[in-house]
Structure 1
């Protein structure tokens, strides 16, 4: 497909060509006409799929006329680093400096930023909390905003910046709203539901790519919060016949102790901690001792200050928390021997973005498991209200604000609490 299919102006096509973009990305091909047509859009795609370039092009196309007093496009991003990245993209494509574009974040003085805005600006790229502060000081006029864009929405939610996003979006009530994100989940839906229209189109681009590494069997449990993680871990590991030797990874030694205390200990050595924080907690300083003791079934390991650990010979690896660096998890799931290992990951909404990055890195999806019926789910707070027209649809493009999961992501395995890693988790919990 050529760039002409995006229906861009000749200067923008020339700018794209000069920048080395010779063909449009899938997300650009599927969203550009809708954005230019004035629709509210939720675009879901992995890092590198072309989301930033998409809305930069759409903004430059939609505004048409430059040098008006009040801003006509407001782009919210999670942090200063993203502000710089978006400004670079605008500089690359806004070749004739047709539009006045400024970045707003905590690195600048509020008074200076107020003056920059009041001097006249067409496009503002800002972090939500600073943009809200300027709005409350009456420096940021949202009455003329035509295009309200939220980029990396999943990171904005992770940083807890939902309130300023909602306030600013509601203040720009006449504008078109476009949201770009790597994942979509309940917390993100809760943030955007107050301002996204009923006619919103959701477009998902699924670019997993070729498998880059051979990994062990991967399974994913998606839960609302850490407390539910603990309940699920206790429930699964209560099946001692299946989970006869397990490593449970967490991020800190304090969390390791929390997990340890959460179990109902049958005997002193069944559940242990690797290099425990407190002397009265049962544990091991050498993982080989854990492997050799048949009475020791579960070893809780903290990623904090952890050096290389020989985990060969252990059939179940559970990541209760996602490590800060995805490479930490990846090196544990890469297949190095012929032994069968099941790698299980627990993820909250906020951690789903890390799951996606791991899937992208290895070129393979984790298999989404259905939560056991007997699991006690701790209340995660209010859910977004359903809007009129929010009906189930199998399509990845639809006229309601939110969409059903794609077939590859559906939780369509009916498993209860789980030798070939117990026949690969009892044939993925068929439990024959």
Structure 2
């Protein structure tokens, strides 16, 4: 497509071509045809995306090939630098016409600017403060303005120019063609559009990743507790329709910790972060792309290298530092025209970061919903079956038997948690018996060590005895060592029948 295809007149097309500008950018393709008809437009685009020609070319063409002297078009910008840049761009487009452009901004002598106005400049590009200043001096007449543009309106509001903008609009005719451009669309911008525009059309133009994200991705923002995040993630990973998932962490340590936690819970997870060598990272990525792993934990360093079309979920375990990083992260899902879900956890200490991201990307969610793994809305928002827990069925037994000897790994063996609970109950009973007898070592009841499988007798129960009974004498310690030796050799019966008294207790 060329500018001529957008109905731009030939002398302007030739002026652009002389500077090597031949093809319009997306924002220009969308705004120029509408603007030429006099349609009020809200253009949402960032600086550097070509929006100056998007509003500048229609503005110049609508003024005519030979406009009369006097200000007919006004472009209001927030900074001096932008005023100079916009003026230079418009001068290029109007170089084959007698149309003149004056840059009006502070920090520069009045004389030159006033001379341009007196000479009959038809287009004024200026900052609010200097424009109002020249108005007060009766050097700037805005009563014949036909075209008005507010460029980077959100930045002007940030700089406190709202009252100045209102004053400027009071000085221009009510019947006019108005265009407003803003990178974000907060409430004050919407209010401006409603007050000063007539049935505006909202056009959003952005880079491919960002545009795809807005169209295809559902964004869910939660304020979560750091100690509950792993449980929440584990439940999200069991959502209906959940496919490949990327979880982003801020640090390498957090990534390494999370991948081990998810594996322990039964999930098929891999990690990509800076502490892994290149071969390990490539292997993890290959497994994820091939579907051998369906959960990938990654740091921001790896975000741009994840190009997988069938990622259904992106989870921000920790909030990114800025809007661009957020876009790069969540852009891993919703690719190739598919839909995706992006879940972001915001810690209490990171609310200020979310405020910046929310404003920059115009989510309109200044206060994320406080969410826990048991929150009903979590299950509703993400299609998680009610009653889902953060551990896959069978994951507990697998974790228990992973380090046990092969001959002990049988299907009829009780889970580790149950075994430990039984051993702990027996230990507590022995503890209470000794406490009631004043620490006597001649209990009439043998210790029920045989209730617990031998491998578990070596971990946990003895320590529980000491902790819960408060027994700290040397005799008690020697008895515990004796029980461990007996359990370690598999002589559970011998251990159970050994009198708790004896020489060790004397």
Same fold (TM over 0.5): yes
The equivalences for 1:162-173 within 5 A come to 162-172=162-172, 173=174
Q: C-alpha displacement at 1:42, in angstroms?
A: 0.7
Task: State the distance in 1 between where 2:158 and 2:94 align.
Answer: 31
Provide the residue aligned with 1:92 in structure 2. 92
Task: State the distance in 2 between where 1:189 and 1:62 align.
Answer: 26
Provide the residue aligned with 1:29 in structure 2. 29
Task: State the distance in 2 between where 1:311 and 1:241 align.
Answer: 14
Task: State the distance in 1 between where 2:69 and 2:126 align.
Answer: 18
Cα distance per residue 1:359-418 (max 9 Å; x no partner): 27995589666999xxxx9xxxxxxxxxxxxxxxxxxxxxxxxxxxx9x9798xx97514
Matched, 1:139 2:139: yes
Q: Bigger radius of gyration, 1 or 2? A: 2
Give the 3 Å change call, closer, same or farther, for CA 79–4 of structure 1 in structure 2.
same
Matched, 1:335 2:302: yes
Task: State the distance in 2 between where 1:24 and 1:418 align.
Answer: 48
Matched, 1:193 2:180: no
Task: State the distance in 2 between where 1:121 and 1:135 align.
Answer: 15
Provide the residue aligned with 1:228 in structure 2. none
1:143 touches 1:174 (CA, 8 Å); kept in 2?
no
Q: C-alpha displacement at 1:67, in angstroms?
A: 5.8
- Structure 1 unaligned runs (5+)? 212-216, 222-231, 245-300, 302-307, 317-330, 348-353, 378-405, 420-424
Task: State the distance in 1 between where 2:139 and 2:218 align.
Answer: 51
Give the 3 Å change call, closer, same or farther, for CA 220–76 of structure 1 in structure 2.
farther
Provide the residue aligned with 1:417 in structure 2. 371
Question: SS where residue 70 of structure 1 aligns?
Answer: coil
Give the 3 Å change call, closer, same or farther, for CA 309–346 of structure 1 in structure 2.
closer
Provide the residue aligned with 2:502 in structure 1. none
Question: SS where residue 14 of structure 1 aligns?
Answer: helix
Task: State the distance in 2 between where 1:362 and 1:371 align.
Answer: 13
Give the 3 Å change call, closer, same or farther, for CA 346–140 of structure 1 in structure 2.
farther
Provide the residue aligned with 2:176 in structure 1. 175
1:219 touches 1:369 (CA, 8 Å); kept in 2?
yes
Task: State the distance in 2 between where 1:80 and 1:364 align.
Answer: 38
Cα distance per residue 1:283-314 (max 9 Å; x no partner): xxxxxxxxxxxxxxxxxx9xxxxxx9976546
The equivalences for 1:2-401 within 5 A come to 2-66=2-66, 68-96=68-96, 98-110=98-110, 112-172=112-172, 173-197=174-198, 199-209=199-209, 221=221, 236-237=224-225, 240-242=227-229, 313=256, 333-335=300-302, 342-345=316-319, 355=323, 359=327
2:319 touches 2:345 (CA, 8 Å); kept in 1?
no
Provide the residue aligned with 2:403 in structure 1. none
Q: C-alpha displacement at 1:154, in angstroms?
A: 2.1
1:46 touches 1:356 (CA, 8 Å); kept in 2?
no
Question: SS where residue 188 of structure 1 aligns?
Answer: helix
Higher relative contact order (CA 8 A, sep 6+): 1
- Structure 2 unaligned runs (5+)? 212-216, 232-249, 260-297, 307-313, 334-339, 352-360, 389-506
Q: C-alpha displacement at 1:240, in angstroms?
A: 3.4
Cα distance per residue 1:206-238 (max 9 Å; x no partner): 433499xxxxx99774xxxxxxxxxx85xx32x
Question: SS where residue 138 of structure 1 aligns?
Answer: coil
Cα distance per residue 1:311-366 (max 9 Å; x no partner): 654659xxxxxxxxxxxxxx96333899x97345499xxxxxx6268627995589
Cα distance per residue 1:28-55 (max 9 Å; x no partner): 2222122111111111234443211111
Question: SS where residue 42 of structure 1 aligns?
Answer: strand
TM-score by length of 1: 0.55
Give the 3 Å change call, closer, same or farther, for CA 344–104 of structure 1 in structure 2.
farther
Question: SS where residue 135 of structure 2 aligns?
Answer: helix
Give the 3 Å change call, closer, same or farther, for CA 54–159 of structure 1 in structure 2.
same
Task: State the distance in 2 between where 1:74 and 1:185 align.
Answer: 23
1:28 touches 1:50 (CA, 8 Å); kept in 2?
yes
Count of residues in correspondence between the two structures: 291
